[in-house]
Amino acid sequence: MIALLAPQFGPSNPLPPLALGFWRQSPNGMGEKRRVTIAPQSCRAGRVANRVLSRRDLLSASRAGLALPFALRADSGLQAQAPAGGGDQTVQIQAAIDRVGPLGGTITIPEGVAFNLQALRLPPRVNLSYRLDDDLSTDLPGPDPASGERVYFSANSSFPAQRSGGAVNEWRFTAPFHPGLVVDVRKDVRGADAGLGANQNRTEPARASYLLQDSQVSRWRVLYENYGARQEPLAGIRIHSWRAAYLLQGVGASAWPTAPALRDRIVGDASGAVGFVREVRPAALVVEWFSGAFRVGESLRNTTKSETSTSPIAAAAFTESENAGIGMDLWHGTVTVGDGNPGVATETLQTYGNLKLVPTRGTSVNNVKHVRAPTLILGGNPEMPVPHQLGIQYDPSQKNDATRRLVAVGDDLAEWRGEWCSVSAMCSFDAGLGVETNATNIGTIARTAPGAYLITFLHPLRRPTWIAPDPSVGGETSDGWSARFIERRADGCRIQLYDRAGARADLPAGAWLSFLILGGDV
């Protein structure tokens, strides 16, 4: 195990401009440690410059929470020179990493030691701890974070020493009961207010978040937000992804042998940056970012079509924007899906399974919910004083009347507006028994006697007590004619037709007979 340990400095031992040090376990993994230090030549020796600490020394100091002093002069043969003054220390950091050995370890880089993470070779089982703005990495699409945050960078895969290791670097927090990760915003602490920027405030809003990034580009976030000045509708929890895109000018449809298509893979010739086409304009491309930073002046390759742009990038603009997310407000606990501008997305919510509203049961069989009649609501602006809405409400109390289970309700979800009834069967046919193309659930139609027609359903109804008005007869040749159901069955029905004199008669040419059957659950 290797850990960089901060030396103890004071009036008699001043802080050097740059110093790195770590303790290295002996090759046999037991007993004494060897010091390995990166330091400028001008550094003074520490108070224990010539002492070699044992495992017991290290454990005792660790348990006491003490920082172990160490010499700023390396052991013979392990000297690694670092320039005084804070320039690029990548070579010296690499030298420290190379000394870690097969057992691996964690190297802590002090603040102010600049290096390029992209240029490092990282063997298995290595971790780095450093300040974010000390990393000199280039070709990242977003702005420089210029942040004093500590970063714990892991290359701790055990592959190939352990064949089960690989491309996953994980942190683990385990406990005998209920391990948890707590993110706590302490808006009551005023001592750091000097760090607030323009128009920033501890309480407007108070925020805490969990953010996933890809090469320092935001991709997914859980955000808590609350306000102290007033009860803000935006107060609550929000989960959303980010859209990361490049607008590349000068390489639009006219700059290619064949205009790029949606999702084509675009690669920068010089930068190696990768994106996928989202939009093709006459003089520009909008690409969904994947990696790297596109550069002005470079040509592009469409690897999907094996083509190269005939002109270079004239301008490149990188943007990050929030996608529609899922929110839960703190006042009511209401869950909202989507908050995008009209036309941004065609489907805010897609389900590839069943979407179910449950009226009475929760996590327990006996846990009765307050919502007794689940309702699908189509509404206007919810921030208006009286939102206009219409609900399709399922009434489970109507257990013996399937035609009254779906009710149309108004703004307060209690005002009765009507009933929603399913169409169980619908048909219109002529004298030749030709059926209209908009028929519903009709299998066959047959004449069984003068003016008598037998209709069978493709899908039988649950019971023969369905509701339907009398069939209607249309056409100039059938003025004064009438029809009625003479038999109702679950699998069909019989209709009898009567002429103007009330006699049973077949449907005349130029006339048609129509009927509509309601009933049953949707």
pLDDT digits (tens, 9 = 90+) for 443-476: 999 999 999 999 999 888 878 888 888 999 998 8
Specify the pLDDT at position 33: 35
471 to each of 295, 485, 512, how far by Cα in Å? 73, 7, 10
**How many residues make up the chain in this entry?**
522
CA distance 123 to 121: 7
Asked if 312 contacts 297 with a C-beta cutoff of 8 angstroms, the reply is yes
CA distance 310 to 499: 79
Question: φ and ψ at 128, to 5 degrees?
Answer: -120, 140
Specify the pLDDT at position 64: 38
- What is the mean pLDDT of the segment spanning 338-355? 60
Is the pLDDT at 292 greater than 90? The verdict is yes
Q: How confident is the model at residue 192 (pLDDT cuts 50, 70, 90)?
A: confident
Count H helices and E strands in the chain, helices first.
2, 29
Q: Is the dihedral of CA 333, 334, 338, 340 positive or negative?
A: negative
Q: How confident is the model at residue 269 (pLDDT cuts 50, 70, 90)?
A: very high
Q: How confident is the model at residue 329 (pLDDT cuts 50, 70, 90)?
A: confident
Work out the mean pLDDT of the chain and round it to a whole number.
76
Specify the pLDDT at position 307: 96
Q: How confident is the model at residue 125 (pLDDT cuts 50, 70, 90)?
A: confident
CA distance 282 to 301: 17
Q: How confident is the model at residue 297 (pLDDT cuts 50, 70, 90)?
A: very high
Name the token pair of 360. 């009475």
**Percentage of the chain modeled with pLDDT above 70:** 72
Specify the pLDDT at position 370: 53
Name the token pair of 268. 């920068």
Specify the pLDDT at position 386: 66
CA distance 376 to 169: 45
